A and B are shown apart, each in its own frame.
Chain A
């Protein structure tokens, strides 16, 4: 079974994304970006590309540990920031999250969502002080699967790597010089002890990438993907996740009453007038 995706012209991907970051911030009058650094490969890659686009002095990495966060996450984030010459701020979110979690006795999943939204809250406020926009770190795999907290980690101004699958994120990360230790470690949202993305999803990123690429990019029939040797349960599970989580990818829908309705027949690009 062929698992790998076709390789990319990484220099060209880098060029397009760096231009994208610079241009799409500048159009709204910003030269600076704020990135939540987790010590993982996604935010590390975005930080490198943002530094290339904006200059290290214009990128602020915010490290947002919670009391259960791995010490290694913070260390990796600091290592990356140091390598890139960008400033970081460490802001503990435990005092923000804990009273609410305790008052409502939240389970791990709900607490995870609160943590993700607390990080969003801090990033947006820090962006205001730094006169910057929040740069997102979502990749195409998690976006398609809906493996994200709505209005949490997906609440950002721009998504530079939103069209790169996880394996492509790793390739590009290698090309821009993200430390190998960050690229090869097990992906984890680190929202609770022992959590791993692949453990929670029930399949590997490599298989998700390969299946999504065939279904989405190549428009293949699910039956043909299964016939290639992919696990039928995983293929149908991925199809179901894509459908069920589509609400996370679109703006809230509006009840149409008037002649022209935002999002329905009041249609303008974000970049209108710039």
Chain B
């Protein structure tokens, strides 16, 4: 199966949902015109990242009757959409969420599990953590979603892989830091490095959508890209600039990669589960 994937890399306005929705709809129109089948937006594309006390005022429910989400549900009749936003649940918890919308329906909602709260991050002051990593079926194959920090914990892609995901979608608002002599900022180099490792060792597609722009002096580095299941780069957006880039995805690459490198076939999941259980029990007994 072949399909056309789009990555929309842009700079949301901080806390201006209406303006961001217009930008997103414009990207959707372009991607639809260019006959893309799936478009992936970066983390908190609808709201901007350093929201702090703006969180409750920019939130939306993950439902087609929410006025902020309705145009996106509607647009998903034309192409599948991965959109990230502040999700508000029925008991007034707020999550950093990513929704996979397809044919007017919510196929899957992922809530960011790992909320970085150190150095330049303060996520868990303002958000509740998600509790699950679950793969889900789409028209284009089985996928799993990660939001930024989720991907830094290598167990998250592992679980999604074992849950059948052939596509790992990582939506990010990654602020660049740590300038050295390298081509990239230090953390950008780290992200590129581990994503390529995931694609290669999990023999899955990796779809990375990262935002650009600046919020209070903190620069988001962009560099959105798509990796094939053998780690080769299928498409990449430039650093720092807004861009809409496309990748032609041929799912036969999964078959070929797994014939070359049958790591998925040989994975000893039960052994790993047993060993993790032993370690967890040991920790518990020791307390």
Contact = CB atoms under 8 A, between A and B. Distances in A.
Interface of A: 6-9, 12-13, 15-16, 19-20, 23-24, 158, 266-274
A15 B184 CA distance: 12
Interface in B125-180: 176, 179-180
Contacts of B181: 6-9
B214 A9 contact: no
Contacts of B15: 272-273
Given A269-B52, A271-B14, A273-B16, A6 B217 contact: no
A274 B182 CA distance: 31
Contact of A266 (B16, B53, B179, B213): B53
Given A267-B53, A271-B214, 8 more contacts: A12-B184, A19-B219, A20-B214, A158-B217, A266-B53, A271-B14, A273-B13, A273-B16
A15 B14 contact: no
Contacts of A15: 240
A274 B14 contact: yes
A273 B18 CA distance: 11
B185 interface: yes
23 contacts: A6-B180, A6-B181, A9-B180, A9-B181, A9-B182, A12-B185, A15-B240, A16-B176, A16-B179, A16-B240, A23-B213, A267-B52, A267-B53, A268-B52, A268-B54, A269-B14, A269-B52, A269-B215, A269-B216, A271-B216, A272-B54, A273-B13, A273-B16
Contacts of B215: 269, 271
Interface of B: 13-16, 50, 52-54, 176, 179-185, 213-217, 219, 240
Contacts of B217: 20, 24, 158
A52 B15 CA distance: 29
Contacts of B16: 273-274
Nearest to B13: A274
Please name the 7 residue pairs, one residue from A and one from B, whose CB atoms are nearest each other, closest first: A267-B52, A269-B216, A23-B214, A269-B50, A267-B53, A271-B14, A271-B215
Contacts of B182: 9
B52 A9 contact: no
Nearest to B14: A271
Contacts of A8: 179-181
A268 B14 CA distance: 10
Nearest to B217: A20
Contacts of B214: 19-20, 23-24, 271
A216 B191 CA distance: 24
A19 B185 CA distance: 15
B219 A16 contact: yes
A9 B217 CA distance: 19
Given A9-B182, A267-B53, A19 B240 contact: yes
A19 B53 CA distance: 26
